[in-house]
């Protein structure tokens, strides 16, 4: 039976997230969790140089090793990134008993969640998932999308966020607001941002919003 995953973005800021493992895969998981503001705890006997540096800088907590179920106390989620099937099985079972979200790398059947291939453009996040069937394909599609959606999309989103706040303050109603937003996106706003034609960007916004919006 094919598993169906519910797409969701989790707020893990200041939440305890545990990574079991000290190799390159664990390293990638730790870095991505830190980027999202998690309070990261790591359990492993040996660590990569980068992970050791993060421990020394007190950016992550080193719980020790080998794995013990007490490491999951108070955890929001745990990622098992070891090369030992028996340890990964224990992590999965212990997490389930404690109600902790669990992801065992490369074992979809032992995952409450899977991690998609992701890239960011400012506040724009694009995620690609194959349901755990082919991470390599997900990466390939992500790479293609990265070429298609450049840094100008992050700038556009930041500007649209400012415009949205200003428009909502006017209280014109959802339908009128929707027309303004769609008109802005239909205008050559993105091309002007990409080519750094800021005077034209300001004029396009002024024509549709009725006032100047700071761009910085």
Query: SS3 sequence, 105-126?
Result: CCCHHHECCCCCEEEEECCEEE
Give the pLDDT of residue 202.
Answer: 94
Same domain, 20 and 103: yes
User: Do 22 and 60 belong to one domain?
Assistant: yes
Section 30-53 average pLDDT: 97
Over range 110-126, report the average pLDDT.
94
The pLDDT assigned to 132 comes to: 83
Regarding whether 102 and 34 lie in a shared domain, the answer is yes
Encode pLDDT of 68-106 as tens digits.
999 999 999 999 999 999 999 999 999 999 999 999 999
CB count in 10 Å sphere of residue 184: 21
122 Cβ partners below 8 Å, 6+ apart? 151, 153, 154, 155, 157, 158
28-35: Cβ within 8 A, 24+ apart: 29/79, 29/81, 29/105, 29/115, 30/54, 30/60, 32/115, 32/118, 34/59, 34/60
Question: Where in the sequence is the domain holding 83, given as residue range(s)?
Answer: 16-115
Q: Stretch 167-179: mean pLDDT, rounded?
A: 86
pLDDT higher than 90, residue 2: no
Over range 32-58, report the average pLDDT: 97
- pTM of the full structure: 0.83
Q: For residue 165, is pLDDT > 70?
A: yes
Tens of pLDDT, residue by residue over 179-194, are 999 999 999 999 999 9
Left (φ > 0), alpha (ψ -120 to 50) or beta: where does 30 sit?
Answer: alpha
Query: Is the pLDDT assigned to residue 159 strictly greater than 90?
Result: yes
Considering the domain boundaries, does residue 89 fall inside one? yes
- pLDDT at position 213 is 87
Distance between CA 56 and CA 144 in Å, rounded? Answer: 37
Mean pLDDT over each residue of the chain, to the nearest integer: 94
> How many structural domains are present in the chain?
3
Please state the rounded mean pLDDT for residues 13-28: 97
Domain membership flag for residue 96: yes
- Asked if 102 and 189 sit in the same domain, the reply is no
The Cα 2–Cα 20 span in angstroms is 27
Phi and psi, residue 22, nearest 5°: -130, 15
Q: Are 142 and 119 in contact (CB under 8 A)?
A: yes
157 pLDDT higher than 90: yes
Structure confidence at residue 56 (pLDDT): 97
Secondary structure (3-state) at 103: strand
Q: What is the pLDDT of residue 171?
A: 82
The answer on 47 and 93 residing in a single domain is: yes
Q: What is the CATH number of the domain that holds 60?
A: 3.40.50.720
Of 163, 116, 153, the residue nearest 137 (C-alpha): 116
Query: Residues 160, 175: one domain?
Result: yes
128 shares its domain with 71: no
pLDDT at 215: 87
pLDDT above 90 as % of the chain: 81
């Amino acid at each position: 039976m094919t598993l169906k995953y519910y797409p969701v973005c989790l707020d893990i800021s200041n939440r305890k997230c545990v990574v079991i493992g000290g190799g390159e895969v664990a390293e990638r998981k730790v870095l991505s969790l830190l980027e999202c503001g998690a309070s990261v705890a790591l359990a492993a006997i040996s660590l990569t140089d980068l992970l050791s540096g993060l421990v020394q800088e007190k950016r992550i907590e080193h719980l020790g090793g080998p794995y013990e179920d007490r490491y999951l106390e108070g955890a929001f989620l745990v990622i098992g990134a070891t090369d030992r099937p028996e340890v990964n099985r224990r992590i999965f079972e212990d997490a389930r008993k404690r109600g902790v979200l669990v992801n065992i790398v490369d074992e979809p059947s032992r995952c409450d969640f899977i991690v998609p291939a992701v890239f960011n453009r400012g506040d724009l996040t694009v995620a690609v998932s194959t349901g755990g069937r082919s991470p390599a394909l997900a990466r390939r599609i992500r790479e293609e999308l990265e070429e298609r959606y450049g840094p100008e999309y992050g700038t556009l989103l930041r500007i649209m966020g400012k415009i949205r706040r200003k428009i909502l303050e006017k209280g014109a109603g959802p339908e009128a607001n929707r027309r303004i937003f769609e008109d802005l996106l239909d205008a050559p706003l993105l091309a002007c941002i990409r080519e750094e034609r800021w005077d034209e960007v300001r004029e396009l916004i002024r024509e549709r919003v009725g006032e100047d919006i700071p761009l910085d």
